Structure formats: C-alpha cells, structure tokens
Amino acid sequence: MSEVCTTMYMQSKKGFTLVELLITIVVVSILLATAVPSVMQMVKNNRVTTQANKLVTAIQLARNEAVKRGARSTICAANTTLDDCAGSTNWANGWIVFSNLDGDMTADTGTDACLVTEDCLMRASDGAGKSTLTGDDTAIHFLPTGYTDNGPVTFTLKADNCEYEQERSIIVTLQGHTTIAQQACTP
C-alpha cells in the first residue's frame, strides 16, 4: 500500500499549480511597475547630464585655446548649418568654438582658416536633443588670460518633458570657470 501512495504523490507534483503561477505573475508585475519609472527617470537624467557636460567641455576648449594661442576665442550659439554664430540666446541648434583673432566676434572661417590672420573653427557641436538650452548671452568671449570679457553667463538646460530633477544650471564665471547645478525642473 505504501508503494501506491508514494507513486501517486510523485505523479501529482509535476510542474506549478495555477495559484503558484498567478502569484509569480503578480509579483513580477509589481516589480516591473515600480522599476520601469525609475529606469526611465535615470535615463532622462543621464541624457541631460551628458548634454550639460558636452557644453562644459566646449566652453573649456574655448578657454584653453585662448590661453594656448594667446588670442581671443569664442563659443557662440550656432546657426542651423553650424558654421557661424546665430546671434541668439537659444543654444538649442548647437554651438561653435573658434579662435577670434580679428576680434570682430564673428566666425570668419573661410578657406584660409587657421592661419595667423584668420579665425579658426575648432569645434562645431549639435545642440541638445529632446531638451532646451538657453543662455544669458549669445556668446562667451575668452581673453588670452582665460578670463571672459562678458561673464558671468548662465545657461539653463532642461528636458522637454519637465519632470524629476532634469534641469541643469551651467554658470561660466568672469574668471572662465564653469559650474553645473542640478535643480528641479520648472516648466
């Protein structure tokens, strides 16, 4: 008789019961419902941080080139073709960094660019995708000392869907130093 009970017990325990399967599905659903928004927030915050760091790197390039070359350099909000300054405080299209040897505050980068008497386009960068970027000024002009002649300049970078802590304030001081502050996004 004991052999029959053992055989029946072994045959009835193959696989999951319906209750066990439903409990597993509920637990997985709860985990996904809490994890997905956190991951989305992290992705959006990382995107804004990357864009802020990209701008700071370009600002530092302009400052370093001014000191290295012993001549003015400028970073400005670019036009749509990324070959000249836009003359706008909206930096969403991107920015360009150029040596400003003639001091006229425009990127005169022609075919003889990078010669002693010509401006030299050093970098052109696309703007902040899925974000807005505005500045207090249309450009930052660095002197050979590394100082700016129009600082301090403050930039505001925020994600299009303003939520969480996705706004960055980027400040360039008169001495040419940059700081990034994370803050709550204001629509």
Exposed / middle / buried, residue 118 (Cβ in 10 Å: 0-12, 13-18, 19+): middle
Q: Is the pLDDT of residue 9 over 60?
A: no
Label residue 7 by pLDDT band (50, 70, 90): low
pLDDT for the residue numbered 64? 93
Q: Which residues of 141-162 are buried (b: 16+ CB within 10 A; e: fewer)?
A: bbbeeebbebbebebbbbbeee
Q: What is the DSSP letter of 69?
A: H
Q: Which of 58, 44, 60 has its CA nearest to residue 97?
A: 58
**CA dist., res. 185 & res. 167, Å (int):** 5
According to DSSP, the residues that pair with 135 across neighbouring strands are 155
Domain boundaries, the chain: 40-183
pLDDT at site 100: 78
Residue 65 has pLDDT above 70, yes or no: yes
Q: In which band, very low, low, confident or very high, does the pLDDT at 16 lie, cut at 50, 70 and 90?
A: confident
What is the share, in percent, of the chain residues with pLDDT greater than 90? 33
Taking 60 as the threshold, does the pLDDT of residue 113 lie above it?
no
Looking at the domain 40-183, which fold is it? Answer: minor pseudopilin epsh fold (3.55.40)
The highest-confidence range among 8-17, 28-37, 120-129, 135-144, by mean pLDDT, is: 135-144
Quote the mean pLDDT of the chain. 82
On the question of pLDDT at 50 being above 70, the answer is yes
Span of 30-44, 80-94, 141-155 with lowest mean pLDDT: 30-44
What tokens were used for 22? 């439903």
Residue tagged 């000392």 (tokens): 145
pLDDT value at position 75?
Answer: 93
Per-residue pLDDT at 23? 92
> Taking phi first (over 0 means left), then psi (-120 to 50 degrees means alpha), and beta for anything else, what does residue 10 get?
alpha
Alpha helices in the chain (DSSP H): 2-12, 18-69
Work out the percent of the chain whose per-residue pLDDT is above 70.
82
